[in-house]
Amino acid sequence: MDRECVKQAPTVEEAVDAALEELGVQQDSVQYEVLEEPGKKMFGIGSSQQAKVRVWVRPEVLAELTQPNEQSSEEESDDEPLPVELQLGDSADLSDEELDRVADIAVAALRSVLGCFGIENATVEEYEGDEGEIILDVVGGDYGLLIGRHGKTLDALQTAVGAITTHQSGFRYPVVVDVEGYRHRRRQKIEDIARRAADRAARQHMAVRLRPMTAYERRVVHVALRGDKRVTTASDGADPFRQVVIAPK
Residues 151 and 190 in one domain: no
Whether this prediction's pTM lies above 0.85 is answered by no
Asked whether residue 75 is domain-assigned, the answer is no
Instruction: Name beta bridge partners: 248.
Output: 231
Phi, psi (deg, nearest 5) at residue 36? -145, 135
Same domain, residue pair 161 and 201 = no
The answer to whether 105 and 169 are in contact (CB under 8 A) is yes
> What pLDDT is attached to residue 151?
78
Residue 143, pLDDT score: 80
Residue 90 has a pLDDT of: 45
Is 45 in the same domain as 10? yes
Contact partners, residue 119, CB within 8 Å, separation at least 6 = 141, 143, 146
What residues contact residue 29 under an 8 Å CB cut-off, 6+ apart? 57, 58, 61, 212, 240
User: 246 - beta bridge partners?
Assistant: 208, 233
DSSP assignment of 29-97 equals: GEEEEEEE-TT--BTTBS---SEEEEEEE-HHHHHHHTS-----GGG--TTS--PPP-SSS-GGG--HH
pLDDT value for 87: 39
Strand ranges for the chain from DSSP E: 4-9, 30-36, 51-57, 123-128, 134-139, 175-179, 208-209, 231-236, 243-248
pLDDT tens by residue, the chain, 249 residues: 568 889 888 888 778 888 887 777 777 777 888 888 877 554 445 455 788 889 888 887 666 655 554 444 433 444 443 333 333 444 556 778 888 899 999 999 999 999 888 888 889 999 888 777 889 999 987 788 888 876 778 888 888 998 999 889 887 888 899 998 888 888 888 899 899 999 999 999 999 988 888 777 888 899 899 999 999 999 988 877 788 999 999
The pLDDT assigned to 222 comes to 92
**Separation CA 243–CA 73 (nearest Å):** 9
pLDDT at 183 (0 to 100): 85
| 169 Cβ contact list (under 8 Å, min separation 6) | 101, 102, 105
Q: Residue 88, Cβ neighbours under 10 Å: how many?
A: 9
Q: Using CA of residue 200, residue 238, residue 182, residue 104, what is the dihedral sign?
A: positive
Among 128, 159, 180, which residue terminates a domain?
180
- Note down the domain range covering 150: 91-180
Classify residue 67: in a domain, yes or no.
no
Please check whether residue 69 lies inside any domain of the structure: no
Cα–Cα distance measured from residue 14 to residue 118, given in angstroms and rounded to the nearest whole number: 32
Q: Are residues 103 and 52 in the same domain?
A: no
pLDDT of residue 93: 65
At residue 19, the pLDDT reads 81
d(CA 103, CA 95): 12
Same domain, residue pair 107 and 142: yes
Q: How many domains does the chain have?
A: 3
Considering Cα of 21, then 22, then 25, then 30, what sign does the dihedral take? negative
